Copies of this chain bind each other. A is one copy, B any other.
């Protein structure tokens, strides 16, 4: 794709590609250890390159994050397909998908924040990925709704946000308590008891 539009374009330098890969590798470890708010310059230093090089490859933290998340996003798409193929029950499928989504959103500590920011800011490298996943959520949700496994009126966007919110709550040093699972359960069934069986709506 890159070197074929014209006749006399230069090949991208090999050291550039090598650096890019290396940065990604280091950043992955660094973010995993320090969370997404860690220092960018520290990443450059760890990678043994200058700050300028880091920023030429990834103009800001969000871009770096987006590149890092791309691989995982691909895995998530694969997971989506697997669920589609293997799971006949649409409600379970939705459940599985939301689980997978939640896992993706907690790849790094503090990730939910930039993700939420992205979906409201249009021109973010993360926005596209998020919107794609919202669409997917919508598809699973609609199927479940058709089969009576999910409330009508709920929309994919809300479910996506709910997953993000759950991940946000669970992040940081509170995994020890019951929270994560309880919160997921809460979002699935709510806190209110369903209307009395004898009196529908």
Contact = CB atoms under 8 A, between A and B. Distances in A.
- Copies assembled: 2
A44 interface: no
Given A161-B169, A168-B168, A179-B161, A154 B191 contact: yes
A80 to B, nearest CB: 18
| Tier of interface size on chain A | 35 or more
Contacts of A178: 155, 158
Interface in A21-43: none
> A-side binding surface: helix, strand, loop or mixed?
helix
Contacts of A179: 157-158, 161
Contact of A183 (B113, B150, B162, B168): B162
A165 B102 CA distance: 14
Given A158-B179, A168-B165, A187-B191, A173 B120 contact: yes
B172 A120 contact: yes
A6 interface: no
Most buried by B among A119, A141, A177, A191: A191
B182 A158 contact: yes
Interface string A173-201: 11001110011001111111111010010
B193 A148 contact: yes
A159 B190 CA distance: 10
Given A183-B158, A186-B158, A186-B187, A193 B149 contact: yes
